[in-house]
Amino acid sequence: MSKVKQLPLWGKIVYGAGSGGFSIIDRVLITWLFYYYITSPLEGVEALIPPFAFGLIMFFGRVIDAVADPIIARWSDNYSGRFGRRMPFMLFSGIAYAAVFILLFYPPVAEISALNSVYVAALLGLYFILFTAYVCPYLALLPELARTNRDRVDLATYKAIFSLLGVGVALIGAGILIGLIGFHGMVWAMAIVGLILLYLPLLIKERRYAEAEPATLGLVEAVATTFKNRAFVIYLIGNVTFWLGFNIITLNIPLYVTVLLKGTENDTSIYFGLAFVVALLFFPVVNLLSKKLGLKAMMMFALVAFFVLLPAYFFLGQPLFGLSPEIIAYILMGLTGLPLAVIFIVPDAIVAAVSDLEAKLSGQRREAMYFGAQGIVLKIAMGLSTVITGALLQYFGSTITAPLGIQLTGPVSAAFILIGVIVFSRYPEKEVTAYQLEKAGIAD
């Protein structure tokens, strides 16, 4: 029998709160930093960095992030300290992470300049390293704090609730705060709220609730062994292609509203808040169906639903079927919320499940490396999504008179997600479940 205690309800809540912290900060950065630099809100300034150049800078930052993932993951997996394997990393990265986020919105020159490009590139590299230093150990705690599929779905649901609330605060609240206290006021407010949430998980005493021995594999061997896990690789391709496509959509949220729908920055709160309210309401359904139908069925539903819905973003701003552009946007945002709820819960539970198979490969518990290995590919894909977005906007248009670049983001995103649908359909859920049942039988 395990000597560690079962995580109580308060522990599940404060663990979930951490995801709210980095979701707020990261979603504000992903949604508004691009907008801030290519259509600068500074008085009398049209832009600070050209769109395609910014896309390349973001890609550079993601590459730095991807390199940091396995290094930090291996460091956390192999670390041995009296506060555990994960909490020390979260403790020392949080404040610096929030501080760099704030600095990114203070460019050194109030005009298009190479200095701005160098400044943003350097700070984005540091930002993503600090992001990984917190998030990778944080995610690795999930399979350690919850040791059955049912418990993992529950803990992933709490994490998803706070994550979705964080994204909602970022996408809905940011537009409102910009109107009330300006761009920089919004950035400071989001950083402070995010920082408070980042430190709530540290109330959990890791060694009391998580059973894990430090791993011993070297960096190269740890990464190579992780990618030998077939179930993980199949899941990874499905999840990464989704986020590549969906991040293109997220980057263009302000432009959908201000260009295609001819609204204001504040209107982003109305249109896109609807998707997150629907997703939040759908969380209990996802929790129940994931336990009843399995994780694969729910993930397939999400991927197929996004593949069907995203091409319709091409028609935002146009009246269809006798309905106004605003009504069309409301319907589309509401429907998007259904698969979005799945994506906030199921992937974390799948990674926790496939990481159990590591016992067959190396005989060690290396949860952080699984999230780190995912980060290597995921963050390069996220950077690539920014390059694709910048190219679409620069070469096909991003204005009210020439909006084709913005319109194409929906169909292009759907094309990437189709790849995920095809590959993830081969996910071996029976193999993963059989091993978990075998392990549970031995434990009993």
Q: In this predicted model, what pLDDT tens digit does every residue of 395-406 receive, in sequence order?
A: 898 888 989 999
Band (pLDDT 50/70/90 cuts) for residue 443 is very low
CATH number of 9-443: 1.20.1250.20
Q: According to the model, what pLDDT value does residue 442 have? A: 45
| Weakest mean pLDDT among 262-266, 360-364, 410-414 | 360-364
Band (pLDDT 50/70/90 cuts) for residue 444 is very low
Mean pLDDT of 321-329: 87
Share of the chain above pLDDT 90, in %: 30
Q: What are the structure tokens assigned to 72, written together? A: 């930090």
Band (pLDDT 50/70/90 cuts) for residue 1 is very low
Q: What are the structure tokens assigned to 387, written together? A: 């390059």
Q: Could you tell me how far CA 201 lies from the centroid of its own chain?
A: 18
| Weakest mean pLDDT among 70-79, 132-141, 277-286 | 70-79
Q: Does 344 have pLDDT greater than 80?
A: yes
Three-class SS state of 398 = coil
Q: According to the model, what pLDDT value does residue 438 have? A: 60
Residue 37 · residue 116 · CB < 8 Å: yes
Q: According to the model, what pLDDT value does residue 4 have? A: 64
Q: Residue type at 126?
A: L
Residue 52 · residue 394 · CB < 8 Å: yes
Three-class SS state of 320 = strand
Mean pLDDT of 307-320: 91
Q: Could you tell me how far CA 1 lies from the centroid of its own chain?
A: 35
Q: Say how far apart CA 230 and CA 207 lie, in whole Å.
A: 31
Q: Say how far apart CA 50 and CA 390 lie, in whole Å.
A: 9
Which residues share a beta bridge with 323?
320
Residue 199 · residue 94 · CB < 8 Å: yes
- Residue-range domain boundaries for the chain: 9-443
| Weakest mean pLDDT among 184-198, 235-249, 359-373 | 359-373
What is the distance in angstroms between the CA of the first residue and the CA of the last residue of the chain? 8
Three-class SS state of 180 = helix
Residues 6+ apart with CB under 8 A from 279: 164, 337, 338, 340, 341, 344
Taking the model in full, what pTM does it have?
0.73
Q: What are the structure tokens assigned to 388, written together? A: 């694709």
Residues 6+ apart with CB under 8 A from 324: none
Q: Does 206 have pLDDT greater than 90?
A: no
SS (H, E, C) 32-71: HHHHHHHCCCCCCCCCCCCHHHHHHHHHHHHHHHHHHHHH
Residues 6+ apart with CB under 8 A from 231: 354, 357, 427, 428, 431, 432
Q: Does 92 have pLDDT greater than 70?
A: yes
Chain-wide mean pLDDT for the chain? Answer: 84
Q: Does 362 have pLDDT greater than 70?
A: no
Cα-based distances in Å from 276 to 189, 330, 338: 21, 12, 9
Torsion, CA 158, CA 161, CA 163, CA 168, rounded to 10: -170
Burial class (CB in 10 A: 0-12, 13-18, 19+), 360: exposed
Locate tokens 């993963």: which residue?
432
pLDDT tens-place string over residues 152-186: 888 888 998 898 889 878 877 887 888 889 888 99
Mean pLDDT of 132-156: 83
Identify the helix (H) or strand (E) that includes residue 164: helix 149-168
Identify the helix (H) or strand (E) that includes residue 50: none
Locate tokens 């694969």: which residue?
296
Interaxial angle between packed helices 325-355 and 268-293, expressed in degrees from 0 to 180 and rounded to the nearest 10: 40
Q: Does 41 have pLDDT greater than 60?
A: no
Interaxial angle between packed helices 367-396 and 325-355, expressed in degrees from 0 to 180 and rounded to the nearest 10: 150
Share of the chain above pLDDT 70, in %: 90
Residue 344 · residue 164 · CB < 8 Å: yes
pLDDT tens-place string over residues 215-265: 666 677 777 778 888 888 999 999 999 888 888 887 887 788 889 988 876
Mean pLDDT of 94-110: 92
Q: What are the structure tokens assigned to 362, written together? A: 């190396």
